[in-house]
Structure 1
Amino acid sequence: MVSEELVAGGEPLSQAAPANSPSRVLVASLIGTTVEFYDFYVYATAAVLVFPLLFFPAGNPTTALLASFAIFGAAMIARPLGAIYFGHLGDKRGRKFTLVGALLTMGIATFLIGVLPTYEMAGWFAPLFLVVLRLAQGFALGGEWSGAALVATENAPAGKRAIFGTFPQLGAPLGFIVANSLFLLIAAMLPSEHANRPSDEFLTWGWRIPFLFSAVMVIVGLWVRLHLVESTAFNKVVKEKKVVKLPLTSVIKDFPKELILGTFYMLSTYVLFYLITAFSLSYGTAKMDAALPGLGYDYTNFVWMMVLGAVFFGIFTLLSGPWAEKWGRRGFLIVVTALILVYGLSWVPLLQLGSWGPLIWLVLGFSLMGMTFGPMGALLPELFPANVRYTGSGISYNVSSIIGAAVAPFIAVALWQYGGGSPFWVGMYLAGSAVLTLISLLLGSETKDVDYEA
């Protein structure tokens, strides 16, 4: 049991700083998730553009792509472990202490990917090291999201939890834009003679720059987070001696329904998230006459369309907060998930709308992503009481990453092959995930008015 005189890191309650200012809360929750998602997207882009060429033996390019996506998905398996570990620390020692550790872990792993030897240099040790560091990335992100969401929502004014909860979510589109814009800038500085293959200079050293650059972003994120103080909700848990010895055991025993519902609330969000960011890049840049045909765009043009789509991702993430406050989390997400279902069924017709089709497809997907992802920053933490909130929300969010995201790019490529190059079955896969999320939302209850300090 933690002493009532202590908060995270052993600081006396009597000496704790005043409540965090709204600007400090929003910046701290936003910058950390931006760094974390930047690191994740850097890998996602390299998984399509670089790793199949450099980290696996020459041969079947589809096999190399699938292997690269398999390593991409391996991080999702590590995320629940990270949620359990960092959730344990966050519910016992506080949010600030845990968030600093998660950010450091992600930053170190991403930096080290940038200095890895390739398959030509180290043989099978190259993909082995890549797997290890990718697992470390997933482990870190497993602890990052829920902590950032709690920093935002536990410090939010009354009636604004969903609005404040969108700011850690906004790190996803910002991280995507920064990561892909940096890749585009480097590709422009190291141009290639082939539209769908990076230049030799890019493959030799250029691709490493985005990974190494993450160190700068991590330093900024750490500086902001070290100036946080603990939330009133967590301090109240400590003062009232409600800190539990084993948060994981408590969550599984006392809140199994909330864990299951939270996991399926996130399912279609995750499937959409990784189809529209990882699979779409492979499909969009594959040649139309290839063994596995795609849209035939060159890398630069297609990524610029994705970056434009991510702008809509950010806009609708912010808009979703006020809408979730006005109409409730559950009611709003039921409507959005139904739209995701329709969107999944409409992939082929959308892509057949001439030259504008692919852009419309991306913008709609990213817009729906913002609307479904934004409210999760408030909804999942609201399912659990303050003394197990970090663990409960983190496990729901990250277990969903296994069933929704870890396999999504891999299944998508398999369905792409099964359809002979058509994305029809990939869209059906997204629609099926939306059905499961709709069922969970219909079985759940509204959380807008729960006592968040209980």
Structure 2
Amino acid sequence: MITDKSASTMPPSEAKPEMNPRRASIAALLGGALEYYDFFVYGAAAALVFNVLFFPGGNPTVALIASLATFAVGYVARPVGAVVMGHFGDRLGRKRVMLATVVLMGVASFVIGCLPTYEQVGILAPVLLVAMRVLQGFSAGAESAGASTLTVEHSPVGRRGFFTSFVMVGYAVGCSLATVVFVPVSLLPDDALYSWGWRIPFWLSAVVVAVTYYVRNHLDETPTFTEVKEESVVRKLPLGDVFKFHWRSVIRVAGASLMASVQTLFAVFSLSYATSVGVEHSVMLTVISVAIALSMFTIPAAGYLSDIIGRKPTMLIASVGCAVSLAGYLWAISTTNILLISVTAFVNMSLFFSCYNGVWTSFFAEQFPATVRFTGMAVSNQLGNLLAGFSPMVAALILLPGATGWLPVAIFGAVACGIAGIAVLGLRETAKTPTDLLGLSADAEPVEVVANAEQPDTPRVLQTQS
């Protein structure tokens, strides 16, 4: 039975924080933009620059593989960040941890832009690069879940889906910003690109960090977490409670998160597949970037829709629509018809995948009670995202030669969407659920323990049912 003893000393006259959904959604958008800006800039640099500057030049193929491996390291670090930062988010507060994640992410990105090369310091260069990539992944593991938790708890019932969808509007903004910044840099002459040009995109992330930190620092702690502290129900080990009392929600959210594999198949695998069948690399990049940019408008629309018809119907639309439209998108690529590719890209990413991107941020956070919300969402979501990280590799392994070689990849994507849809059916509908009742099962009464003034370690209300 755990509490935060300091919570009981809070002066009763101290004003409780008020909901501020607009500022919370702006803070979430900026954090998402920083996360995905760093994600795409690092991915582009790993493919074009790091293999030349940070690894021995004797074998270009080995250097490229090693460079891309540093990109994958970030995914390995994400679950660790989810556990650690989720723990402190549920113990110390959403605001503090969200300030920490943006600082960690910003420092790591800026330092990457300052690193010495292999020619200058030898093996120390890739070691430092991997260390900064781990720090990026560690902070990213908590960013989306933390921003979602903070925004959900700042938003009124009936509007949580709309406001929290701006976490993933940040995804579209960050990807678009990274494209705008990195494309001109990649066109520099080799001497300029490899000496100073590649560093500029990493240094520019400091601007987003400063703005994001300012907005988050001027945002109050959520009323929900403040109430948790006042009632002395802060949990000592949130992760233990998540797996003891909410393991069903963990499994369901992890399963629903498998739909994220559509994103990496769309943005990563399709680029290499299109190049292999004769579509110009630059043309395909443009198609992908435009489709993602257009989702800035459809993601909040999907969040708004989920507030009206419910989270589950909107997510099921995403599941079925993504499975069918991904197959159409891959088929269009096989024809090399740019107009057809563009239309199917819009349908798959801008429309149907936005029905997932605009809803999961609120829906997954709403499955857990306030005492373990940050940890529960972060851990379960990152478990599901592991498949997304490996999806391009799996797709490359099962791709067959010939005009219909894309079919196994489409089936793979459809299976992921199908599992996600089944998991969604098992989740609780939460669009109209009052915030203080989120995470409680419909068929179980919450455990209630009344506080004793002489035993401050005993919580007043302990909600632990799954």
Query: Which band: TM-score by shorter chain?
Result: 0.7 to 0.9
Cα distance in structure 2, aligned partners of 1:97 and 1:88: 12
Q: Which structure has the greater CA radius of gyration?
A: 2
- Percent identity of the aligned residues? 33
Give the conservation status (yes or no) of the 8 Å contact 2:17–2:221. Answer: no
Give the conservation status (yes or no) of the 8 Å contact 1:274–1:409. Answer: yes
1:54-133 to 2 correspondences below 5 Å: 54-58=53-57, 64-133=63-132
Give the conservation status (yes or no) of the 8 Å contact 2:329–2:348. Answer: no
Give the conservation status (yes or no) of the 8 Å contact 1:96–1:230. Answer: yes
Of 385, 389, 394, 1:411 maps to 394
1:339-378 to 2 correspondences below 5 Å: 339-351=321-333, 352=335, 354-367=337-350, 368-378=352-362
Secondary structure, counterpart of 2:435 in structure 1: coil
Question: What are the superposed Cα offsets for residues 160-199 of structure 1, whole Å, 9 maximum, x if unpaired?
Answer: 11111101121100000111110123235x2x5xxxxxx3
Cα distance in structure 1, aligned partners of 2:154 and 2:241: 24
Aligned match of 1:321: 303
Aligned match of 1:290: none
Aligned match of 1:259: 250
Secondary structure, counterpart of 1:157 in structure 2: coil
Aligned match of 1:37: 36
- Taking structure 1 as reference, are residues 404 and 305 closer, same or farther at Cα in structure 2, changes over 3 Å only? closer
What TM-score do the two structures reach when normalised by structure 1? 0.87
1:296-445 to 2 correspondences below 5 Å: 296-299=279-282, 301-351=283-333, 352=335, 354-367=337-350, 368-405=352-389, 407-416=390-399, 419=401, 423-445=406-428
Cα distance in structure 2, aligned partners of 1:395 and 1:420: 40
Aligned letter for 1:244? R
2:196 paired with 1:205: yes
Cα distance in structure 2, aligned partners of 1:86 and 1:110: 19
2:163 paired with 1:181: no
Cα distance in structure 2, aligned partners of 1:321 and 1:131: 36
2:146 paired with 1:147: yes
**Quick check: 359-368 or 418-427, which moved more?**
418-427
Aligned letter for 1:392? G
Q: 1:248 Cα shift?
A: 0.5
Aligned match of 2:240: 249
Cα distance in structure 2, aligned partners of 1:423 and 1:128: 37
Aligned match of 2:5: 3
Cα distance in structure 1, aligned partners of 2:269 and 2:61: 13
Cα distance in structure 1, aligned partners of 2:433 and 2:203: 43
**Quick check: 43-52 or 114-123, which moved more?**
114-123
- Taking structure 1 as reference, are residues 296 and 181 closer, same or farther at Cα in structure 2, changes over 3 Å only? same
Give the conservation status (yes or no) of the 8 Å contact 1:347–1:427. Answer: no
Question: What are the superposed Cα offsets for residues 172-227 of structure 1, whole Å, 9 maximum, x if unpaired?
Answer: 00000111110123235x2x5xxxxxx34223321211111111211111111111
Aligned letter for 1:429? F
- Taking structure 1 as reference, are residues 278 and 345 closer, same or farther at Cα in structure 2, changes over 3 Å only? closer
Secondary structure, counterpart of 2:116 in structure 1: coil
Aligned letter for 1:395? V
Q: 1:420 Cα shift?
A: 7.4
Cα distance in structure 1, aligned partners of 2:10 and 2:42: 37
Give the conservation status (yes or no) of the 8 Å contact 1:267–1:403. Answer: yes
Q: 1:21 Cα shift?
A: 3.0
2:164 paired with 1:165: yes
Q: 1:265 Cα shift?
A: 0.8
Secondary structure, counterpart of 2:5 in structure 1: coil
Question: What are the superposed Cα offsets for residues 390-425 of structure 1, whole Å, 9 maximum, x if unpaired?
Answer: 1001111112222322x1233334345x54795444
Q: 1:58 Cα shift?
A: 4.5
Q: 1:246 Cα shift?
A: 0.5
Q: 1:142 Cα shift?
A: 1.1
Secondary structure, counterpart of 2:373 in structure 1: helix
Give the conservation status (yes or no) of the 8 Å contact 1:149–1:378. Answer: yes
Of 257, 265, 273, 1:275 maps to 265
Cα distance in structure 2, aligned partners of 1:36 and 1:439: 29
Q: 1:296 Cα shift?
A: 4.0
2:449 paired with 1:449: no
Q: 1:229 Cα shift?
A: 0.7
**Quick check: 102-111 or 57-66, which moved more?**
57-66
Question: What are the superposed Cα offsets for residues 246-288 of structure 1, whole Å, 9 maximum, x if unpaired?
Answer: 000010100000001111111112x12222233344444x4xx
Cα distance in structure 2, aligned partners of 1:145 and 1:124: 33
- Taking structure 1 as reference, are residues 40 and 30 closer, same or farther at Cα in structure 2, changes over 3 Å only? same
**Quick check: 259-268 or 27-36, which moved more?**
27-36
**Quick check: 421-430 or 231-240, which moved more?**
421-430
Across the aligned residues of Structure 1 and Structure 2, the Cα RMSD in angstroms comes to 2.5
Question: What are the superposed Cα offsets for residues 289-312 of structure 1, whole Å, 9 maximum, x if unpaired?
Answer: xxxx2434143x443322211122
- Taking structure 1 as reference, are residues 295 and 319 closer, same or farther at Cα in structure 2, changes over 3 Å only? farther
Give the conservation status (yes or no) of the 8 Å contact 1:267–1:433. Answer: yes
- Taking structure 1 as reference, are residues 5 and 439 closer, same or farther at Cα in structure 2, changes over 3 Å only? closer
Gaps of 5+ in 1: 193-198, 287-292
Aligned letter for 1:366? M
Cα distance in structure 2, aligned partners of 1:22 and 1:243: 23
Of 204, 223, 231, 1:240 maps to 231
Give the conservation status (yes or no) of the 8 Å contact 1:45–1:278. Answer: no
Q: 1:64 Cα shift?
A: 4.9
Secondary structure, counterpart of 1:346 in structure 2: helix
Cα distance in structure 2, aligned partners of 1:231 and 1:343: 39
Secondary structure, counterpart of 2:232 in structure 1: coil
- Taking structure 1 as reference, are residues 336 and 65 closer, same or farther at Cα in structure 2, changes over 3 Å only? farther
Give the conservation status (yes or no) of the 8 Å contact 2:109–2:202. Answer: yes
Aligned match of 2:464: none
Give the conservation status (yes or no) of the 8 Å contact 1:79–1:399. Answer: no
Aligned match of 1:196: none
Give the conservation status (yes or no) of the 8 Å contact 2:83–2:239. Answer: yes
